[in-house]
Structure 1
């Protein structure tokens, strides 16, 4: 879609009676992070799209750091959201770093939006254990390179965590397909982004904060505080950590469908 790799799920009836949704992945992620929820979401009567950001996996990107700032990536998402909507409002979701990117779309874009979901994201740069891991990765990446980073560190971690062999193979293929310039620039943005929650409060857009009860990215308490500041709905997914769409797909899909349907109803009955 316009040079961006996307996955699309449609209702099995072929009839989309509700407004579409666009799902945006996090740092080192891709559209495949949403596979477990795509068809379930579509069964509620809408087309659901998941995209790669520029420089991620199957979407190529230039060796120009300016292409990978949150503002530039948010503008990319704005273009894709406009195409996905095709005149209709779009439910926009950003996971983790995707939340930092999509808030740029919400604040500075022109796409017609029906709602906004921050999934496992935060008000600014990431903190806690993932911050330390991110800074270590950024320090080592220029000297080690992506392949050695995978072989020496990330692959052993995945194997110790019990990740199945076919998923390990996919994760390797995906990481090696990423733009190194993109990894470095986006990695800095994950760590150093400023807080724009007060600006989001001014949009009036129906918003949901959703995260796993054991999130090891932005602390759950920080995400709950962000929801309070936004005065918006907040859903804590039992048993999930940083990737609710993978770790608790049915619960996550149900929460999103409820929120999207309510947002549509509120708009249509104004």
Structure 2
């Protein structure tokens, strides 16, 4: 499970529901810091079993660099509504068009950043229509399906969700693994001691969303040739270790995209949580370079 350090929005940030042409989405919206020169707006997409709170550690440092950051729960994810049983509602193109609607509602072009599954949704949005985006950052998000061990874990989760309630799955996970190691899918992030917040987030996810996006993670084709043909600045950022997409796979993807490549030492699959200051600095440096 993706485990943010805190579920409390950072100082100055506002949690609300962003109204779009495709429904309302829960967001954490952090403005540019007082005294900082405004440099742009960024939309941040979380990963599988994650949420907008995964980016809480980045808002402050990025605000200080002049960036407004808007982190969003996708359709059927934590505090954003969606159908519980209709997997077709979570087809990748549907989620991509949600992203385009979110950008339209923000009323400005954005730097797009996607973590893990969020990176694959982000690139799908760019492939539908790149015009609303100033750049694309893929954070710990690879070119195609996740690694075989992670596919096996996601399959176990999908099989459990087919026959058990969300509460039953949560209880089973807690019984099977120590609290500090409990994981519900492809995300393997730093720990949060307050299990109740994690339980609340887990129960907020719609089962159909987890089943559909879990399948996407296990079957995603390599779309890097399509993406490389888009005239956008690209950034591939990851921790120094990642067992969801191995680092050499991410290195190769960056070469194929002609992307800036950042390796965050001391971080694994969630550099936004493991090393937030280094991650924020690297992201802001890249965004700055696109407008220099």
User: 2:127 corresponds to which residue?
Assistant: 107
Out of 202-211 and 39-48, give the one that drifted further: 39-48
From 64, 84, 107, the counterpart of 2:86: 64
Question: Cα–Cα, structure 1 residues 165 and 140, in superposed 2: closer, same or farther, change >3 Å?
Answer: same
Out of 107-116 and 90-99, give the one that drifted further: 107-116
Task: Indicate yes or no: 2:261 matched with 1:234.
Answer: yes
User: 1:90 corresponds to which residue?
Assistant: 110
**Structure-to-structure mapping, 1:211-222, within 5 angstroms:** 211-222=238-249
1:77, 1:105 within 8 Å by CA — same for their partners in 2? yes
Q: For each residue in 1:198-223, what CA deviation from the matched residue of structure 2 results, as whole angstroms up to 9, or x when unmatched?
A: 00000021000001111121111111
User: 2:46 corresponds to which residue?
Assistant: 25
Question: Cα–Cα, structure 1 residues 123 and 19, in superposed 2: closer, same or farther, change >3 Å?
Answer: same
For the residues of structure 2 that align with 1:14 and 1:92, how far apart are their CA atoms? 24
Offset of residue 186 of structure 1: 1.0
From 28, 33, 38, the counterpart of 1:12: 33
Gaps of 5+ in 1: 266-270
Q: For each residue in 1:111-163, what CA deviation from the matched residue of structure 2 results, as whole angstroms up to 9, or x when unmatched?
A: 52111000000111111322211111112221122212211115753614394
For the residues of structure 2 that align with 1:49 and 1:20, how far apart are their CA atoms? 8
Question: Cα–Cα, structure 1 residues 65 and 164, in superposed 2: closer, same or farther, change >3 Å?
Answer: closer
- Equivalenced residues, count: 262
2:46, 2:52 within 8 Å by CA — same for their partners in 1? yes
For the residues of structure 2 that align with 1:64 and 1:14, how far apart are their CA atoms? 47
Out of 68-77 and 131-140, give the one that drifted further: 131-140
RMSD: 1.7
**Structure-to-structure mapping, 1:34-183, within 5 angstroms:** 34-62=55-83, 63-84=85-106, 86-87=107-108, 89-109=109-129, 111-154=131-174, 157=177, 159-161=179-181, 163-166=191-194, 168-183=195-210
2:27, 2:70 within 8 Å by CA — same for their partners in 1? yes
TM-score by length of 2: 0.85
More strand by share: 2
Task: Indicate yes or no: 2:221 matched with 1:194.
Answer: yes
TM-score by length of 1: 0.92
User: 1:260 corresponds to which residue?
Assistant: 287
